[in-house]
Structure 1
Amino acid sequence: MTGTGTPPPLGPRPFLWSLAPPFPRSFKTRLLYSLLFPGLIICGLFCFCLITVLLKIRITLRRKKQSVSAYRNKESQMVIAFFHPYCNAGGGGERVLWCALRALQKKYHEATYVVYTGDEDVTGEQILEDAFRRFNIKLVHPVKFVFLRKRYLVEASLYPHFTLLGQSLGSIFLGCEALWKCVPDVYIDSMGYAFTLPLFKYLGACKVGCYVHYPTISTDMLSVVRNQNAAFNNAAFITRNLVLSRVKLLYYYLFALFYGWVGSCSDVVMVNSSWTLNHILSLWKVQSCCSIVYPPCDVKTFLDIPLHEKQTASEAVVVSVGQFRPEKNHPLQIRAFAKLLEKMGTEHPPSLKLILIGGCRNRDDEHRVNQLQKLCEELGVQEQVEFQINIPFEEFKDYLSGATIGLHTMWNEHFGIGVVECMAAGTVILAHNSGGPKLDIVVPYEGNITGFLAESEEDYADTMAHILCMSPEKRLQIRKNARQSVSRFSDQEFEVTFLSSVEKLFMFSNKTYD
């Protein structure tokens, strides 16, 4: 049909179409419109339903919060909760948890204290006993434990690929379980699960804070992928492939964007070192509510160790303190120690010993220890290397009191409680030239040297040999300098700065806590 007459009517419109403005006359535009508009309506309905469900959940949780339950003796009583799924792991992060609880209980003694944990294989009493045995910390008031069944969702072994994303999504589900079981008034993430913060803030209507030991992702990690450098979190087959490297870099950038958003939901942010502060400020943009709170180190207990010259160079003990995690880089310690034995053996047969002290959290850590033992056998140093796992505090203290060198090899360690403890105990510290040890700990004190830093296997071996060849008087002076410098990392200093930082979380509540 030709001509410019009026086109035939299009017929009756479906219901959804009737909500839209009149269609344009172009066939292609009408087709696009007919596909796009119903999709927008469906998306709108989905969002409406989702918001409705979330509001109902929030109302239910608010009622649970206001009710008298197993975690609240009376309606006006404040509930302060810590999210720490591995509270029985025995590492530096766990020491922060128990010291933080002890500090809060002293000031807000009427509040109820809750710890969300996934340690279902032990009782609450056993967890507290282990805290006293390992850290010499005894709480002044009871703590209630909420045992979580889905901790496996945050295990790295569950996500062989896209581990950061998998663990973060897993933490959201674990946080949902925690929130449903107990709705607190104040929520503090003390283990680095930032993706739980918006959950407790917007659904649980809680005041939220966090203590960041180590950013989940950092600009250093982005740099490693961008430069195609192999590392424990950047496999060699990815570094050799430009396309895979670019895909991983995009993934990291997107993850960093979401990580920055969830972190910015926190009302109070505490970080453990200058290194961590720089990364968190860069990613979270929380300049107004972020502060450095150095982790508590039991320096007073270690300062009681008599400061006298220890074994001769050929009989010295080198001690390492740190959980058996991949980033601690224990293989570097063993290889550097093997090189040291070669260097010292050229002059006289040494009877040096390396003692690796640390905690094992799970089967992955136990497997890691087995691999380290095999490495010792390959290098022929199995007779000179000891592994001391999950040992009591007093035994740990005895090992430090007899050591000459304290060894630390983690690249970009966020802080380094073990480094501080070694310095307080009177060892000559040799730490990695990065992160917290470089910026905050192994720094000159009143212009005097407090320890040594190294990076490569050869550096570590040479520096250990240098320390052992020093005169006893010079070693003693370095140890004295180190001891004087660590008072700023004491439990007392932590309590003051921690309470000052979290005070904002308690300012606007009418709950009973004091």
Structure 2
Amino acid sequence: MNYGCDSSNSCLKVSYPAVFSLQNLSKPEQTTAMIFFVFTLLFLVAAAVVFLRVFAKLRSKVFWDGDGRKKTTFAFFHPYCNAGGGGERVLWVAIRSIQKRYPTVQCVIYSGDTDASPDEILGRARQRFNIKLPGHVEFVFLRHRGWVEAVKYPYFTLLGQSLGSLVLAMEALFSLVPDVYIDTMGYAFTLPLFRYLGGSKVACYVHYPTISTDMLGQVSQRVAAHNNASFISRSPVLSQAKLLYYRLFAFCYSLAGKCASVIMVNSTWTYNHITCLWNAVDRTHIVYPPCDVAEFLAAPLLDDETKPRQILSLGQFRPEKDHPLQLKAFHKFLSAVDSSRKSDFTLVLAGSCRHEEDQARVRHLQQLAKELGIDDRVKFRLNISFEELKKLLFESMISLHTMWNEHFGICVVEGMAAGTVMLAHDSGGPKLDIVVQHGNKPTGFLASDTDSYAAAMKTIFEMSSSERLEIRLSARESISRFSEEEFETVFLMLCEPLLKNLLRS
């Protein structure tokens, strides 16, 4: 009932028909209505999927061979293919291996590097990694890479970047629907999109899980870290809320990851976490990343007594690399050195800067070095070439690595191959796969905090050159399992089922 007033201000009684409600129906009718509603909803979802799939296929770019037949497309989702890090080496060697084995397959890269031309990107790959592709690679440039930038999401970063990756993946899918799709940067939420909307065969190469049991543990134990702000770790309520958020995210991450037919991981550490989260042991394989160490191994291992007492850090300037720990450890080491000898020691931080965010970190590190009073003993080398990288490695005595739970650590392998004494973080890939005993002999040193790093630096510099040489020789002998040839063999073996029945005889 509703009451209104006419022009004479006398009230009028107005009647409305009864609103439809399940309560007005009998129980059998309620059941029928609910079934109808569920089936209607499922039909609409299925219709939307079919429509989007057809729409994507109609918009998709198609490649033809000389005989006028459609080429099989093998697409790599790597929005930062021009970054110049270890993940990019995996990308370029993977493409090269596909082109060598399957020359009729058209390789495609979904790239967000709109500020560079294809020739510039390929030129950087040659310069940085000494890799030249035997065939043509097609680039699909994505305009919305900003959706996956961490800086866009100061809070709920994992969720924001993952949802952002769906926006980027939709742009990619509507530009080109590939026959085979492989995510090589860790955007697992793109996998169901390409499998169900694109109808592609789907695989992934995981460098580092987006979320790990270690991250859950940090929040649960209220440990402050680069991914767990101190104001959250200090609050029991906020910590519990974040733990719930992480667990829900881990569940969704698991559902997305299971969409891959082939799952490749780069280390034992990553394997343990991915199999725990995704529960797909039968499809998960360790494929060590390719390390181009041939040119390093070609150089003879000489007595390093005449080398500069130089420590070299190689790696992108990302927060998880923990460059501040390197500066603090070096400062602590120098504080115990006689003042007359401090000038003998140098720390070089070399690596690539991807964008302004990385450059800001470098400026912060330079300021920290100044505050610690070691800025005259610290050098920064940014975006160096492969030749410069080799020169730095050959003239350094120690290679330094400080990332907690590094998924693998290509720079660790390169340092060992070049004949430096490796000092790496006591966790992740370096601990489980790389800096391990070889023939019952040590291959380097592991540390975990400022004190242990400073102590290891002191130990290495105080060793005799013959003692260091024994470690360097053992390290070199241990790294053959990380060669490019080994990577290509295993990668192609796992990709073969994806391409089966797609290639014409």
TM-score normalized by structure 2? 0.92
**Any conservation in 2 of the 1:260–1:283 contact (CA below 8 Å)?**
yes
The count of corresponding residues between Structure 1 and Structure 2 is 490
Of 46, 52, 61, which aligns to 1:57?
52
Shift of 1:350: 3.9
CA RMSD of aligned residues (A): 2.4
Which residue of the partner structure matches residue 167 of structure 2? 173
1:61 and 1:19 mapped to 2: Cα distance? 43
Determine the structure 2 residue equivalent to 1:423: 416
C-alpha displacement at 1:382, in angstroms?
0.8
Residues 344 and 350 of structure 1 are in contact (CA less than 8 Å); yes or no, is this contact kept in structure 2?
no
Q: What residue identity is the alignment partner of 2:467?
A: K
TM-fit CA distance, 1:426: 0.2
Instruction: Supply the distance in 2 between the matched residues of 1:75 and 1:55 (Cα, whole angstroms).
Output: 25
Mapped contact 2:59–2:175 kept (Cα < 8 A) = no
Report the CA distance shift for 1:466/1:202 in structure 2 as closer, same or farther (over 3 A): same
Aligned pair 1:369/2:362, yes or no? Answer: yes
Range moving further from structure 2, 451-460 or 341-350: 341-350
Contact 2:62 2:70 in 1 (8 A): no
State the partner residue of 1:290. Answer: 284
Q: Distance in 2 between matches of 1:37 and 1:227?
A: 50
| CA distance in structure 1 between the aligned counterparts of 2:105 and 2:492, rounded to whole angstroms | 15
**Is the CA contact 2:314–2:411 (under 8 Å) kept in the aligned structure 1?**
yes
Aligned counterparts, 1:89-488, within 5 A: 89-311=83-305, 315-345=308-338, 348-488=341-481
Query: Alpha-carbon deviations, 1:278-306, whole Å to 9, x = none?
Result: 00000111111110000000111111223
Say whether the 8 Å CA contact 1:218–1:279 is kept in structure 2: yes
- Mapped to 2, the partners of 1:283 and 1:358 lie a distance apart of 32
Contact 1:17 1:38 in 2 (8 A): no
Counterpart CA distance in 2 for 1:368 and 1:38 is: 59
**SS at 2:336 equivalent:** helix
C-alpha distance 193-68 of structure 1, shift in aligned 2 (>3 A): closer
Partner amino acid, structure 2, of 1:364: E
- Report the more deviating stretch, 231-240 or 45-54: 45-54
Aligned to 1:7: none
- SS class of match (2:406): coil
Distance 1:386 1:346 in 2: 19
Native 8 Å contact 2:65 2:71 kept in 1: no
Q: For residue 63 of structure 1, report the CA deviation from its aligned partner.
A: 4.4
The residue number in structure 2 matching 1:5 is none
Counterpart of 1:329 in structure 2: which amino acid?
D
For residues 231-253 of structure 1, the C-alpha deviation after alignment (integer angstroms, 9 at most, x for no partner) is 00000000110000000000000
Shift in Å, 1:20: 7.6
Structure 1, unaligned runs of 5 or more: 1-10, 25-29
Paired AA for residue 112 in structure 2:
G
Percent identity of equivalent pairs = 52
Displacement of 1:60 in angstroms is 2.7
Structure 2 residues not aligned, in runs of 5+: 1-15
Alpha-carbon distance in 2 for matches of 1:317, 1:263: 43
Q: CA deviation at 1:19?
A: 12
Cα deviation digits, residues 47-92 of structure 1 (max 9, x gap): 5433312211112334456x74589984432000000000000000
Relative distance call for 1:247 and 1:474 in structure 2 (3 A) is same
Asked which structure has the greater RCO (Cα within 8 Å, sep 6+), the reply is 1
**1:132-173 C-alpha deviation (Å, 9 max, x unpaired):** 000000000010100000000000000000000000000001
Q: CA deviation at 1:126?
A: 0.5
Q: Deviations over 1:464-504 (max 9, x none)?
A: 01000000101011101101111110111111111112222
- Write the distance in 2 (CA, Å) between the matches of 1:450 and 1:506: 39
- Give 1:491's aligned amino acid: E
Do 2:64 and 2:71's aligned partners in 1 also have CA atoms closer than 8 Å?
no
- The CA distance in 2 between the partners of 1:40 and 1:224, in whole Å, is 45
Q: Is the 8 A contact 2:202 2:261 kept in 1?
A: yes
TM-superposition CA deviations, 1:11-50 (whole Å, max 9, x none): 9876x669984279xxxxx9xx8xx999997776555433
Give the CA deviation at 1:439.
0.2
Deviation at 1:339, TM superposition (A): 1.1
Amino acid in the other structure paired with 2:231: F
Task: Decide whether the 8 Å contact of 1:296 with 1:494 is kept in 2.
Answer: yes
**In structure 2, how many angstroms separate the alpha carbons of the residues matched to 1:353 and 1:226?**
39
Asked whether the 8 Å contact 2:343–2:377 carries over to 1, the reply is no
User: For residues 383 and 70 of structure 1, do their structure 2 counterparts lie closer, same or farther at Cα, with a shift above 3 Å needed?
Assistant: farther
SS at match of 2:479: helix
- Listed one character per residue, the Cα deviations across residues 358-390 of structure 1 (whole Å, up to 9, x for unaligned) are 111111101000000000000111111111111
The CA deviation at 1:349 is 3.8
